[in-house]
Structure 1
Amino acid sequence: MPERLKINSTLSPRGSLEILSQREVQQLRETGSGSVCDLFRRCALAILNTGSHSDNAKTILEAYADFEVRIHQQDRGIRLELLNAPADAFVDGEMIASTREMLFSALRDIVYTQSQLERKGADLDSSEGITDYVFQLLRNAHTLRSGQEPKMAVCWGGHSIGIEEYKYSKRVGHELGLRGLDICTGCGPGVMKGPMKGATIAHAKQRTQHGRYLGLTEPGIIAAEAPNPIVNELVILPDIEKRLEAFVRVGHGIIVFPGGVGTAEEFLYLLGILTHPSNHELPFPLLLTGPKCAEAYLRQLHTFIGATLGEAAQQRYQVIIDDPVEVARQMTAGIQEVTRFRRRHDDAFYFNWLLKIDEGFQRPFEPTHANMASLPLTHDLPLHELAANLRRVFSGIVAGNVKENGIRLIEQHGPYQIQGDPAIMRPLDELLRAFVEQHRMKLPGGSAYEPCYRVVGQE
């Protein structure tokens, strides 16, 4: 591995962490030690590594094993000292402005999560309490803005995709931006960057000021999907479940582009929520789209949903092939219906309170070998519960592919074992095999993909 250029630097925040009480400073300094300090170090390193071609958290951590971040007090504020930081985050010794903003956003979110809500006794034992927790995290990050009409289009898709799929996502983002919509993604590269890039040009054409490019991530995946430079609002949620809930609470509609297991996980999460009986009448535009070259992938995912969750789930979304204008028109029309619905029901524009999310979608899933092997995957389950468990399958595969802990578990114990009804296992195996054949799984260093799972029980 070539020698990485590194730099030492000190910097102070600009914004919400600029003026602090002595007590807040002390809390920050206490946060700067132990496991929380290590968490911030990992997130900081990922942000400083923005633009890297590596999507392996373990590789990045090993390349910068001597990276340190220290928190110091100064005049009722704080100063960060960075040692052996990636040099690409600086220009002539000065940190790039967007990187600086995101670095302190990470500190804000991690400090607030650990030092504020938990000390106040956040209720994480009930579904309502978890939703309130997500609300408070987003409010603290100034993500929730009253008085604005609904216009946040969430875009999901792969972070490692082909050039035609990337260009298509950018064209869709451009059409969305021309219609005044803002963009929210997982904040990384690929589909998470393309729509934002397209929207920036469209916003400039329409002289739209203060366009929003919101990135939502979580500590376990940020190294694999380091924020792209277009993101002007970054929020780090504590885990994948709260990240997913944040997407569906702040978004007014969702577009799913081609991707891999992570995209399938997100798609199943949302379908599991939308097929819950309590959400039957609630409008939520959901589009599955991609360029002509991705039609086979889109059709196969659509077929997989039909084989496992049935026609009821398929009716909750539209499939649009190679038509960015139609995607933008349908999303704009869908968001207009969302606006009318929320007005009738006195629901907030900035946070979808009426959406019912079962606790099964809110509780963090730990993808151990035992937990993966024991997931119930049977048509005897209610539709939304089966969707939740299928989502967990894909969540475990994401962990085994790109998350440090998951990678180490696979190294120690071999592939996960996934088992269930043959009628579910067969289409699942076909879909996963297609992901591998289409190079939609992570391929570290360009090497051949070694599956972190085995699908059993297909007979």
Structure 2
Amino acid sequence: MSEAAERSLPVQDASIYPKGGLDVLSRAEVARLRDASSGGMHELLRRCALAVLTSGSASDDPRAARDLYPDFDIQVLQQDRGVRLELVNAPAMAFVDGVIIRGIAELLFAVVRDLAYTAIELGPQYAADLESSEGITNAVFGLLRNARVLKPQDPNLVVCWGGHSISRDEYLYTKQVGYELGLRGLDICTGCGPGAMKGPMKGATIAHAKQRKRNTRYIGITEPGIIAAESPNPIVNHLVIMPDIEKRLEAFVRMGHGIIVFPGGVGTAEEILYLLGILLHEQNAHLPFPLILTGPTIAAPYFEQIDKFIRLTLGEQAASRYQIIIGDPVEVARQMTAGVRQVREYRIAQKDSFYFNWSIDIPGEYQQPFIPSHEAMAALDLHHGRAAHALAADLRRAFSGIVAGNVKEEGMRRIEQFGPFEIHGDHDMMQALDALLRAFVEQRRMKIAGEYKPCYRVVT
């Protein structure tokens, strides 16, 4: 008897068909998605599909759903009438009276669509194309276009970053900000998970309903390594799975017309450093890109510490690229609306598209995937005297490695096998980094539940 059966977890078998967005797949795509060998996509498909089927889970352990539903399987079948998915021992929480919830079915087909595209269009034969900055940007564009999320309309997409593990007061504040954004006709894009990724979407749904806005977009952008720990929240109506964290971050920056940052942990710090490093590059010096850091009054010390860390490591110029607004959702929405208006004027003047920011220059070091091995983490160059955008790139990698050690299966396995990552650098920088990470731990921003055991050691 399986572990799931022993725990009496309800499961269900089902055959489902897509309703738009994914009509047919090629034989090659189906073969890759069914291939259970080490080079195939089946295990990745199974893992991502299970994350969608357990949407709303309170766990941020990427292995929890797999352990609870060890007998779950998914098969992709191509028929004359189109695509069919066969689900075996699927979580019953995804069904109502034996019928899969429509929103979950849509997200499930988004998983199949994006993994099929990645398997073929970004397969090994295209590896050379992904060695250049232009090739990577074209790949990001291709994935987003294939997902049908690039809309040639007036700029109105606000990206919201923030942690999955936040306090109740912080969560309610993200809803209030989302509500004010929605009243002003702005759509929301987040990392698709719970916490600060769900709150703005939830607030915006009420505002959009009040304004009778029907063509609403609640876009969730994730990647295979993170989706199991941050399963899509129920409000996401457009899900996109990028191949890795670097392409995910580029998708946010290329699609978004402004970014709001709520309280979070290491993943949020990684996102801030990624964007600031790009904006500090000389080619982007005059590019309008509204960036607001905000939270309730209780989050003021959090942003003070983030601001202090940025000024110490990247300098005053980096701090000039963002605003900090505490406890004022209306002002956040007003400032973001004004910033998006500037973006619109700039894009018109530069003859750049509204739906994809081609003008922003993203250096190659921000695009190439970083594999957080113990050797790579120890070799990061975290020292003063470097160009701010170059230092930001390595600081971003340091936080990315900690994210991997916290919630990504491969990173967790490395920590279990070899112990914590070691991070080295200038003494004052390491002291500031250690203080920031300790604060994240004390404020329970690293993990939703249970005791947090650090996957890193800052060498001071």
167-176 vs 372-381, which deviates more? 372-381
Shift of the alpha carbon at 1:110? 0.5
Query: Residue in 2 aligned with 1:447?
Result: 450
Match of 1:297 in 2: 302
- Residue 387 of structure 1 pairs with residue 392 of structure 2: yes
Distance 1:3 1:356 in 2: 53
Deviation at 1:26, TM superposition (A): 4.8
Structure 2 residue 35 is matched with structure 1 residue 33: yes
Comparing 353-362 with 110-119, greater Cα deviation is found at 110-119
Instruction: Letter of the 1:157 partner, please give it.
Output: G
Give the superposition deviation at 1:416.
0.6
Match of 2:244 in 1: 239
Q: Aligned equivalents of 2:267 and 2:115: distance in 1?
A: 23
Q: State the alpha-carbon separation in 2 of the partners of residues 90 and 271 from structure 1.
A: 42
Partner of 1:141: 147
Output the amino acid matched with 1:126: S
| Separation of aligned partners in 2, 1:30 and 1:173 | 39
Q: Which consecutive residues of structure 1, in runs of 5 or more, have no partner in the other structure? A: none
Structure 1 residue 434, shift from structure 2 partner: 0.7
Which position in structure 2 is the counterpart of 1:11? Answer: 16
Q: Write the letter of the residue equivalent to 2:451.
A: A
Structure 2 gap segments, 5+ residues each: none
C-alpha distance in 2 between matches for 1:154 and 1:8: 36
| 1: CA distance, partners of 2:172 / 2:81 | 47
Matched, 1:344 2:341: no
Aligned to 1:194: 199
- Is 330-339 or 31-40 further displaced after alignment? 31-40
Amino acid in structure 1 at the alignment position of 2:315: G
After superposition, give the CA deviation of every residue in 1:29-54 in whole Å (9 maximum; x if it has no partner): 34321331111111000000101111
Query: What amino acid does structure 2 have at the position aligned with 1:447?
Result: G
CA deviations on 1:404-435 (whole Å, 9 max, x unpaired) are: 11111111111110011112101001100111
Quote the Cα distance in structure 1 between the aligned partners of 2:205 and 2:116: 31
Count of aligned pairs: 451
Structure 1 runs of 4+ off > 6 angstroms?
none
Q: Compare 155-164 and 59-68 and name the one that shifted more.
A: 59-68
CA distance in 1, matches of 2:423, 2:365: 19
1:106 counterpart residue number: 111
Which amino acid letter does the alignment assign opposite residue 125 of structure 1?
Answer: E
Output aligned runs, 1:44-443, within 5 Å: 44-118=49-123, 121=126, 123-146=129-152, 148-443=153-448
Q: Give the whole-Å Cα distance in 1 for the aligned partners of 2:169 and 2:76.
A: 44
The question of whether the paired residues in 2 share the 8 Å contact of 1:130 and 1:362 is answered with yes
Deviation of 1:117 after TM superposition, in Å, equals 4.1
After superposition, the Cα gap between the structure-2 partners of 1:386 and 1:119, relative to the gap in structure 1 and judged at 3 Å, is closer
1:124 is paired with a residue whose SS is helix
Which residue identity is paired with 1:449? Answer: Y
SS at match of 1:450: coil
Task: Give the SS at the match of 1:184.
Answer: strand
RMSD value, Cα: 1.3
Distance in 2 (alpha carbons) for counterparts of 1:159 and 1:3: 29
SS at match of 2:15: strand
Distance 1:121 1:452, change over 3 A: closer
- Specify the SS of the correspondent of 2:86: strand
Letter in 2 for 1:33: D
Show the counterpart of 1:42.
Answer: 47
Q: What secondary structure sits across from 1:216 in the alignment?
A: strand
